[in-house]
Amino acid sequence: MSLPIVRFVGIHKTFDGIQRVVENLDLDIERGEFLTLLGPSGSGKTTTLMMLAGFETPTAGEILLDGKPLSHKPPYQRDIGMVFQNYALFPHMTVAENIGFPLSVRGIPRADLAARVERALDMVQLAGFGSRRPAQLSGGQQQRIAVARALVFEPKLILMDEPLGALDKQLREQMQFEIRHLHQRLGVTMIYVTHDQTEALTMSDRIAVFHRGRVQQLDTPERIYESPCNAFVARFIGENNRFDGRLDSVTDGGCTIRLAGDARIRGSLAEAVPPGSPLTVSLRPERVQIRVAEPTIGVDGCSLAGVLREIIYLGDHVRARVALPGNEGFMVKRPISEARALPEIGAAVEVVWEPAHCRAFARDDDAGGPGGST
């Protein structure tokens, strides 16, 4: 197995000597992968990126690039390309001069510089734009120029700090795929910071979910979404219906959870806790079926009875809001092809699930209150 291209070893970072913005970070980044650092504001993800870039210094620990310490290297000696949220293009320079700037400060001969600028423009599909100024470009084109400038000197790493934040939704989604395809073509290692979970799921080989300065889970997008390791990750990634309860019993491959009102449901336990422990239970809206209530309520502990209060049309799918005891906002997400089969509003219904999709975690006050959807 090849040596990780980047290693964070025992990294701590504090700005005031008291509160740690990044705490005890050990993280290996594989050569050629697209790794996203994902988390809410203040979680430590951007500080981690800035320490790797050289714009911040770790309070303790070491960062290694290709096995060599980076602590005493200034940013321009780290062989790292950077793309910022505001693109940081020089307005008085042409596109070609902007892209060629990292080469000129490295003393690359003019003839070679021009050829490499043209290759970089080709990479981002903007050949022929070299003579324009940044103000003559759209937001998406400026973002591509910023990427080309980061690529032009063929760095070992490309770091991106929320580079799509200033774009509208449609262009943002288009650029997600373009950056992903560019990464696949070039094979360069990319480390991407965002607070947008959809962006992370779309683009990444792996995702590191940050919270309070620590990596909560490091895994593939599919496992992060389908098998979150704790209540925070479950809440932060995707939508959830949530319940509070207590662990009643554990069986092979599952558990029974006692909810408020003494209802018992079946699910899967994501982490080991003793019986009686307080739990947060998460159910994805798309993993739940809805049907007219039957005389005998309950499907082996995998259903709850309620009343269908609302159906919301959203083009490719519908959302049905079901009022359950203690939870007026339980949501069910179904494809549009099933919309006509839904019961009438006001009908007594059951919501039904598979135990594997009902995930139970040790209760975390940061993971939200009782009931509801996020």
The first and second tokens of residue 22, run together, are: 């990044």
Q: Tell me, what's the pLDDT at 270?
A: 87
Q: Which one-letter DSSP state was computed for residue 285?
A: G
Look at residue 17 in the predicted model and tell me its pLDDT.
Answer: 86
Strand 20-29: give its sheet, edge to edge.
20-29, 6-14, 60-65, 68-69
Those residues whose C-beta lies under 8 Å from the C-beta of residue 248, and which sit 6 or more positions away, are: 255, 256, 257, 258, 264, 275
Show the tokens assigned to 243: 């319940």
Task: Give, for all 374 residues of the chain, the pLDDT tens digit.
Answer: 678 999 999 999 999 988 999 999 999 999 999 999 999 999 999 999 999 999 999 999 999 999 999 988 998 889 899 998 777 889 999 999 999 998 888 888 888 898 999 988 988 888 889 999 999 998 888 888 988 999 888 898 999 999 887 778 888 888 888 889 889 988 999 999 999 999 999 999 999 999 999 999 999 999 999 999 999 999 999 899 998 999 999 887 689 999 887 888 999 998 888 889 999 999 999 999 998 887 554 456 788 999 999 999 999 999 999 999 888 899 999 999 998 889 999 999 999 999 889 999 988 765 444 344 44
Contact 154, 77 (CB under 8 A): no
Helix (H) or strand (E) run with residue 288 in it: none
The confidence score (pLDDT) of residue 367 equals: 46
**Tokens of residue 206, six digits:** 């792996």
At residue 167, the pLDDT reads 79
> Which residues, in sequence order, are bridge partners of residue 158?
81, 190
pTM of the model: 0.88
Could you please report the per-residue DSSP string of 334-365? EEGGGGGGSPPTT-EEEEE--GGGEEEEE--G
Contact 279, 245 (CB under 8 A): yes
CATH fold label, 231-367: OB fold (Dihydrolipoamide Acetyltransferase, E2P) (2.40.50)
Are the CB atoms for 95 and 126 separated by under 8 Å? yes
- Residue 295 has a pLDDT of 59
What is residue 144's predicted lDDT score, i.e. its pLDDT?
87
Q: How far apart are CA 241 and CA 235, in angstroms?
A: 9
Helix (H) or strand (E) holding 104: helix 95-105
Side-chain-side CA neighbours of 88 within 13 Å: the count stands at 15
Residues whose CB falls within 8 Å of the CB of residue 369, separated by 6 or more in sequence, listed in order: 242, 244
pLDDT attached to residue 369: 40
Listed residue (51, 42, 69) closest to 13, CA to CA: 51
* Nearest in space to 211 (alpha carbons), one of 373, 30, 63, 37: 37
Distance CA 229, CA 93 (A): 48
Same fold, 6-226 and 231-367: no
Q: Where are the alpha helices (DSSP H) in 187-248?
A: 197-203, 221-226, 231-236
- 195 and 162 Cβ atoms separated by less than 8 Å: yes
Q: Output helix, strand, coil percentages for the chain, rounded to the nearest 5.
A: 30, 35, 35
List the domain boundaries for the chain.
6-226, 231-367
CATH number of 6-226: 3.40.50.300, 3.40.109.10, 3.40.50.2300, 3.40.30.10?
A: 3.40.50.300
Residues making up the chain, counted from first to last: 374
